[in-house]
Amino acid sequence: MYFTEKQLRIMEFIQQFRTERGISPTLEEIAKNFGVTKITIYEHINQLERKGAIKREKFRARSIEILVPVEHRATRYSLPLMGNLREGLPIEATQDREDLNLTDLIPVGKKCYALRVRGDSMADDHITDGDYVIVEKREEVLNGETVVAVLENGEATVKKFFRDKSRIRIQSCNGSLKSIFPKTAEIRGVVVGVLRRFSAEQPMEPVVST
């Protein structure tokens, strides 16, 4: 039985709520947890009910019951780690099974989002055209961090950020490009990871330039 990620998260919340409090959450409580409207949750609950994943009684606010096992989030974002790879040598197989939890590498939550990159101005920092950057929403930035910034002309860009004594410096990581010194720069977040998909498919419309 297939469930969307949103449906899995809702079932996971319901199960945790029931375990901790001994009762099911109301639609209002579920909506508040996910920051959406009650109508949105109502639609998801109806879909889950049609799939046979949950059941509920009419006219009872706390009657949601889960009928299928809910897979723990960590197992949904993990891959088997088969061993270590050293260039020119056979693969070193691990003695015991080990899983690589992708959420340890890619933060998953409300404070993070992804952008597709267009351009190679950050190539020396291993961010190239078509890559996806994982961005943490925050305004406080340390010198040298890679940020998503909106410049005074409205252009969004990924660059190294520096605040000198009296000015802002936005620096490319490409030896052929010079730094720029905008009067203002609105920081939309800090890059905490990079994803690269090796595929013949061409990326769709770019979201942010470097």
Q: What is the pLDDT of residues 91-148, one digit of tens each?
A: 677 666 677 777 667 766 657 888 888 888 888 888 888 888 888 888 788 999 999 9
Computed over every residue of the chain, the mean pLDDT equals: 82
pLDDT more than 70, % of the chain: 83
| Topology annotation, domain 112-209 | Umud Fragment, subunit A (2.10.109)
Which residue intervals of the chain bear CATH 2.10.109.10? Answer: 112-209
Name which of 28-42, 64-78, 91-105, 163-177 the model is least confident about.
Answer: 91-105
Question: Where, residue-wise, is CATH 1.10.10.10 in the chain?
Answer: 5-66
Q: What is the CATH number of domain 5-66?
A: 1.10.10.10
Confidence bin at 209 (pLDDT 50/70/90): confident
Contact 172, 120 (CB under 8 A): no
Catalytic residue among 24, 32, 55, 121: 121
Of 38, 51, 78, 159, the catalytic one is 159
Q: Verify whether residue 159 is a known catalytic residue.
A: yes
CB 179 within 8 A of CB 169: yes
